[in-house]
Amino acid sequence: MRSSPARGTSTTGVSRRHAVMLRLVGAGVMLTVMADTTATTLAVGVLRYTPAGAAMPLGDLVWLTSAAFIPIAALLATAGRWADLFGRRRVLVVGLVVFVLGGVATVAVESWSLVLAARAVQGAGAAAMIPASLGLLLGELPESQRRGAIALWSSASGLGCLLMQAGGGWLAATVGWRALFVPDVVIGVALLIACFALPSGRRAGARGLPDVLGAWLLAAGIAVVVLAISKAMAWGMDVVWLALAALLLLGGALAQARHHRLPAIDLALWRRPKFVWGWLATWGFGALSYGLLTVQPLYLLHLGYPMLEVAMWLTPTSVAVVVTSFLAGKLVKRIGAYGLIYAGSLLCGGACVLVLTQVGPTVWGLVASVVLGMGVGALAPGTSVATTLAARPQQYASAVGAATMARMVGGAVGITVVSVVIDHPFVAGPFAGPFAGLAGALAICVAISVLMGALALTKITRLRPDPGDVMIKVPRRMLLELRMTLATVAAEADALLPVETRTPPMDHIPRQRAAEAGPLAGTRGNSN
């Protein structure tokens, strides 16, 4: 008779209703955040070819994306840490409220500077939503369901991209670019209501004040890093001073973390080699995915396609992302997280090379967009599993925050580099011509894919366990059964021998005790 899990435990006793709501809210958060990001890239493309936006350089228009990226990247690690300490559902609710208010302001305000400020508010809300949602999901579900939950969480991002591309083109063409941010507000309100049906989530039960100074230093340091990356070409050597300021701020945050009782940075997480490897892979994934998100609509709009047709051409990529992310959740158990990362890098790089050989949208271009979606769909759960499950249960939200921060900082790098190359294309060699900037941007995406594939292959071929991990566990009961079996065989063989040659009976052989089923490590067996 199968025993049901106890209801009192948060990791195994979550009710079926709560499990369903956890999955829906977790997936809804990623769907909303990715739809918001896709809406931003579509809005940049639309503004690029409007009279108001045509007078602005692409670097200034891209600030519509960077204005949200900076607070997201800056606050993710701190928000994840505080979610682990003080309650994941609480941080999720606060994030949703801030996100919805920022979305309303983005649609309502007129001035471009106020629009950027509203986008920054949305970014701050998203920074709290992302780690709290996945941390709550993983903390409440049993271990056997966590990889599937991560796959669902990752595939929801592709679904958000798909829905925004399918309906966003119509919204932008019929209503205007501000209408692209309306669906995020509606879904955010629905998620906020659904949060009251969720369990409160485990918390560390920490007492005392959190490291507020360390949190501000960390957020400011990461914000300055993203700002320096975003404005590297426009500000020239002034960026060096920003880099020095970022080093000082991050150094101060680390110093605070070493001495504070409730630090803003979980240093124990960064001592785990598996997490560091996953963090690097996630950084590369951010640079690649957000770079491609910027290139795709600009490439099609450059060809003169209207917004509705651009959305249609982008839809196969998003469909492939959703399907592949879902299937990757089952495949990761066989080939591992870094196997998925290697396969995704190979697919993304190959798709970019295929696009470089084409002139304008063709059937092969459509095939490349599907392959690209498959690559992104493999990379998303692969990087998420590699980072999140490298942490301990009480560190889940912190790991999600730090990993997503890496993805956002990498995304800022990808968007900035791609925008610079498109505005300042190479004019010699194979990149000369009317598509020089776009071809150069695709070549950079190929280079990032190669680097990520090399990192994953290195991890696969040189896999080393963490010092604290128990790699082999041999139950003592199995050894006792083996010993009793050998003793029985020896006794039967001895019975076949003549009486004078038989071995005296060994009464001291211990009998098997059914109660001793613990692991061998840390136990002492009887040797006599």
Give the domain CATH number at 394: 1.20.1250.20
Of 228, 245, 260, which residue constitutes the final position of a domain? Answer: 260
Domain's final residue, options 243, 260, 277 = 260
Q: 379 vs 358, which has greater pLDDT?
A: 379
**Which of 170-194 are b and which e, b meaning 16 or more Cβ less than 10 Å from the residue's Cβ?**
ebbbeeebbbbbbbbbebbeebbee
**What type of residue is 161?**
C
Strand locations in 250-304 (E):
none
The overall average pLDDT reported for the chain is 76
Check whether 527 has a pLDDT greater than 90.
no
Instruction: Please return the burial class of 243, using the count of CB atoms within 10 Å of its CB with bins 0-12, 13-18 and 19+.
Output: middle
3-state secondary structure 68-90: HHHHHHHHHHHHHHHHHHHCHHH
If asked whether residues 194 and 241 sit together in one domain, one would say no
In a domain, 256, yes or no: yes
Residue 174, SS3 per DSSP: helix
Q: Rounded to 10 degrees, what is the CA torsion of 307, 313, 314, 320?
A: 160
What's the farthest any 2 CA atoms get from each other in the chain?
A: 109
Same domain, 246 and 163: no
Q: Stretch 264-288: mean pLDDT, rounded?
A: 84
Q: Is residue 2 part of a domain?
A: no
Instruction: Let me know whether 297 and 251 are in one domain.
Output: no
Mean pLDDT across 238-258: 84
Q: What is the pLDDT of residue 493?
A: 63
pTM over 0.85: no
Residue 299 to residue 89: CA distance in whole angstroms: 41
What is the tens place of the pLDDT at every residue in 303-343?
A: 777 766 776 777 788 788 888 887 887 787 788 888 889 99
Tokens 């566990």 belong to which residue? Answer: 473
Asked if 158 and 377 touch (Cβ cutoff 8 Å), the reply is yes
Pick the most confident of 75-89, 171-185, 350-364: 171-185
Q: Quick one: how many helices (H) and strands (E) in the chain? A: 19, 0
Whether 299 is in a domain gets the answer yes
pLDDT 10s digits, 33-72:
888 888 887 787 777 766 666 666 666 677 787 788 778 8
Looking at per-residue pLDDT, the higher value among 12 and 232 belongs to: 232
Range of the domain at 420: 265-464
Quick one: pLDDT at residue 476?
Answer: 52
What is d(CA 207, CA 505) in angstroms, rounded to the nearest whole number?
Answer: 63
Residues 245 and 283 in one domain: no
Is 520 within a domain?
A: no
Burial of 470 per CB tally in 10 Å (0-12, 13-18, 19+): exposed
What pLDDT digit, counting tens, does each position of 414-429 carry? 877 887 777 766 655 5
Residue ending a domain, among 464, 495, 522, is 464
Distance from C-alpha of 184 to C-alpha of 129, rounded to nearest angstrom: 13
Assess whether 215 and 357 both reside in one domain: no
* Predicted confidence band of residue 399 (pLDDT cuts 50, 70, 90): confident
Lowest mean pLDDT among 205-209, 285-289, 336-340, 360-364: 205-209
- Both 253 and 269 in one domain: the answer is no
CB atoms within 10 A of CB 327: 16
Q: Is the model more confident about 143 or about 121?
A: 121
Is residue 526 included in any domain, yes or no? no
Do both 62 and 122 map to the same domain? Answer: yes
> What ranges in 361-464 are assigned the alpha helix state H?
363-388, 396-423, 436-461
Confidence (pLDDT) at 293: 77
pLDDT of the residue at 169:
72
Same domain, residue pair 235 and 275: no
List the one residue out of 31, 177, 186, 165 whose CA is nearest residue 115: 177
User: How many domains does the chain fold into?
Assistant: 3
Does any domain span residue 523?
A: no
Q: Would 101 be classed as within a structural domain?
A: yes
Q: Is residue 242 domain-shared with residue 319, that is, in the same domain?
A: no
pLDDT digits (tens, 9 = 90+) for 280-314: 898 999 888 888 877 877 777 777 777 667 767 77
| CB contact set of 146 (below 8 Å; sequence gap of 6+) | 138, 389
Residues 240, 358, single domain; the answer is no
Residue 9: its pLDDT value, please?
39
So what's the pLDDT on residue 14?
A: 60
In a shared domain, residues 218 and 279:
no
Q: Cα(253)–Cα(220) distance, rounded to whole angstroms?
A: 10
Statement to judge: residues 399 and 348 lie in one domain = yes
Find the mean pLDDT for residues 493-521.
50
- Could you tell me if 458 and 351 are in contact, meaning their C-beta atoms sit under 8 angstroms apart? no
Task: Give the confidence band of 203 by pLDDT, cuts at 50, 70, 90.
Answer: low
Distance CA 335, CA 376 (A): 17
In a domain, 53, yes or no: yes
**What is the C-alpha to C-alpha distance for residues 300 and 292, in angstroms, rounded to an integer?**
12
